[in-house]
Amino acid sequence: MIHPILGQEVFSARRASLLEKLPEGSTVILYAAPEAERNGDVTYPFRQNSYFWYLTGFPEPNAIAVINKKNGHPHYTLYSAARDPIAEIWSGKIIGQENAENDYAVNTALPLTGVHQTLPEIAANSTRLYTILGTHPQNDSRINKLLREAHLLAGRGGAPIEGIFDLRRIIDEMRLVKSIEEQNLLHEAGRISAKGHTAAILAARAGAYEYTVQAALEAEFRRHRGCHWSFPSIVASGKNACCLHYRDNNAPLKDGDLILVDAGAEYAGYAGDITRTAPINGKFNREQQALYEVVLHAQKEAIKSCRAGIRHLELHKQTSILLMQGLIDLDIVSGDALEIVESGEVKRFYPHGTGHWLGLDVHDVGVYQPSGESRKYIPGMVVTIEPGIYLQPNDLEISEQWRGIGIRIEDDVIITEGEPEVTTADVPKDIRDIESLLSGRK
């Protein structure tokens, strides 16, 4: 469960800002995440839907937020679970209606049991209904049923409802540029993520297992403010690092191999996302060091370029060319770097993008090419920068000493009016610093 840290004035301001973008008479209906069954009577740890959280800061499952204008002012109705002394003995305190109004800036708090009696009436007095479509089939069915009920009520003398409209693009644009308060939370998520990665590097020893490293990593997350991971941790040693989203995390660590760890902590709902690659025995060998320096150089240059005005795909192309030129200089491939990139051959070695938006979701919302043109960075956007090279173990066109090496280096960057801010700089990435850290472990 996400615990609120931002003040309710932040969520109130977001709701007001959203309604300013919608026609008069619009009603927004948002559904909280449900609890998800794992097996039997066991549920997965609950995590609130990011859209719902962004506009409400309300942490409980199954709630319904209704936001509309009344006489030009936002009115916020929340349907949520009612207090239940017996249920609270088993599962902990329920916020309830009185606390929702007092602590969550709710204008009208109603129990979920009353939603079918009152929500159709609210909808019937609206000209448009807005919601997030396509994320949960049950919610899509609920909103369509609500529209039918509202049409029946409106037909008795109310104005006709124009229909249901998807709110996603409007909120995505709001979420794309982070406020100072959000940037501070991302800094903290980056700081905690960096502590976890430092612990992971130190835990990677020959004879241990990938899950041993994962345990050290995630224990450090939990040790700092009880943070959970922001996505399932990738802990990939040796040739496993050539699998971009490796999930098994169960191989033994071998002397002479590298280990790639891609993981992040979630703080107050905001994600950290770091990748580091380090030698298990404490020293890079010749091939590992040469390839690592290619990736590190490309990553540092990409971070320098993270300034307002650069286009997302422009940054990716620049980074791709640097990586391919590095492979050419090492005689791993031959040809012209630009031609390799423009022909698509680059994907053989670098199949993913240079970065992605970061925020409440680790792959945060926001269109990369609005109107078909690559988006320019503006202050307040937050991106990851994560170039990598993956020399597949079965690629017989590569000399044997290079095969099975996978390297990725990733940091989180806030776009500002001037120099980019790296929120994850506390974990080492220069070869000298990594080897120095490992030389001091006990």
CATH of the domain at 305: 3.90.230.10
Is 40 part of a structural domain of the chain? yes
CA–CA separation, 272 and 19 (whole Å) = 30
Strand pairing class (26-31; 128-131): parallel
Looking at 9, 41, 331, 400, which residue is catalytic?
41
Clarify whether 31 is annotated catalytic: no
- Helix/strand/coil percentages in the chain, nearest 5: 40, 20, 40
- Whole-prediction pTM value? 0.95
Q: Are 78 and 110 in contact (CB under 8 A)?
A: yes
Contact assessment for residue 84 and residue 60, using Cβ atoms and an 8 Å cutoff: no
Q: Is the pLDDT of residue 3 over 70?
A: no
The residue among 175, 202, 220 that closes a domain is 175
**Residues 6 or more apart whose Cβ sits within 8 Å of residue 138:** 34
**Is 1 part of a structural domain of the chain?**
no
Residue 153 and residue 292 in one domain: no
Indicate which residue of 363, 419, 433, 441 is catalytic: 363
Sort strands 42-43 and 228-229 into parallel, antiparallel or unpaired: unpaired
Task: Name residue, tokens 């159709």.
Answer: 120
Of 36-45, 274-283, 357-366, which range is least confident? 36-45
Rg (CA), the chain: 25
- Residue 41 inside a domain? The answer is yes
Mean of pLDDT values over 137-166: 77
The answer to whether residues 58 and 104 touch, using CB atoms and an 8 Å cutoff, is: yes
What the block records as the tokens of 74 is 């936002």
Of the residues 116, 169, 245, 247, only one is catalytic, namely 245
Average pLDDT score over residue span 218-229: 92
Q: Which of 151, 307, 311, 352 is catalytic?
A: 352
Task: Output the pLDDT for position 441.
Answer: 87
Residue range 88-102, pLDDT digits in tens: 999 999 999 999 999
Count how many domains the chain has. 2
Active-site pick, 60, 182, 266, 386: 386
Average pLDDT of 3-9? Answer: 85
Do both 339 and 427 map to the same domain? Answer: yes
Last residue within a domain, chosen from 149, 175, 201: 175
What pLDDT band is residue 383 in, cutting at 50, 70 and 90?
A: very high
- pLDDT band per the 50, 70, 90 thresholds, residue 251: very high
**Residue 72: pLDDT over 90:** no
Active site residue 104: no
Is 410 a catalytic site residue? Answer: yes
Q: Counting Cβ atoms within 10 Å, is residue 222 exposed (0-12), middle (13-18) or buried (19+)? A: middle
The question of whether 386 is a catalytic residue gets the answer yes
The residue with greater pLDDT, 216 or 136, is 216
What region does 180 belong to: left with phi over 0, alpha with psi -120 to 50, or beta? alpha
| Active-site residue flag, 224 | no
Domain boundary among 154, 175, 196: 175
Q: Do 220 and 123 fall within a single domain?
A: no
Is the domain of 194 the same as that of 285?
yes
Q: Choose, from 31, 51, 270, 390, the residue flagged as catalytic.
A: 390
User: For the chain, what is the mean pLDDT?
Assistant: 95
Q: Does residue 156 surpass a pLDDT of 60?
A: no
Q: Do 142 and 215 belong to one domain?
A: no
Which H or E element spans position 37?
strand 37-39
Nearby residues of 26 by Cβ (< 8 Å), 6 or more positions away: 19, 68, 69, 126, 127, 128, 129, 130
Res. 136: pLDDT tops 90:
no
Look up 257 and say whether it is catalytic: no
Percent of the chain residues topping a pLDDT of 90: 85
Helix/strand/coil (H, E, C) string of 157-196?
CCCCCCCEEECHHHHHHHHHCCCHHHHHHHHHHHHHHHHH
CATH number at residue 73: 3.40.350.10
Q: Is 262 a catalytic residue?
A: yes
390 in catalytic set: yes
- Nearest partner of 261 among 325, 182, 204, 326, judged by Cα: 204
Catalytic residue among 182, 210, 257, 262: 262
**Together in a domain, 292 and 313:** yes
Q: Looking at the domain assignment, is residue 351 inside a domain? A: yes
Residue 2 placed within a domain: no
Domain that holds residue 26: 8-175
Tell me, what's the pLDDT at 70? 72
Task: Say if residue 384 is in the same domain as residue 287.
Answer: yes
Average pLDDT over residues 366-377: 95
Residue 3 maps to a domain: no
Q: Are residues 119 and 257 in the same domain?
A: no
In this structure, the answer to whether residues 185 and 150 fall within a common structural domain is no
Is-catalytic flag, 408?
yes
- Residue 63 shares a structural domain with residue 209: no
Q: Residue 304 is encoded by which pair of tokens?
A: 């320098």
One domain, residues 143 and 194: no
Confidence of residue 148 (pLDDT cuts 50, 70, 90): confident
Q: pLDDT (tens digit, 9 = 90+) per residue, 119-130?
A: 888 888 888 999
What is the rounded distance in angstroms from the CA atom of residue 284 to the CA atom of residue 200?
Answer: 17
Quote the tokens at residue 108: 């009208």
DSSP annotation of 242: G
Distance CA(138)–CA(211), nearest Å, equals 36
Q: How confident is the model at residue 159 (pLDDT cuts 50, 70, 90)?
A: low
Residues 374 and 227 in one domain: yes
| 128, 187, 316, 408: the active-site residue | 408
* CB-based contact 298:389 (threshold 8 Å): no
Domain presence at residue 309: yes
139 assigned to some structural domain: yes
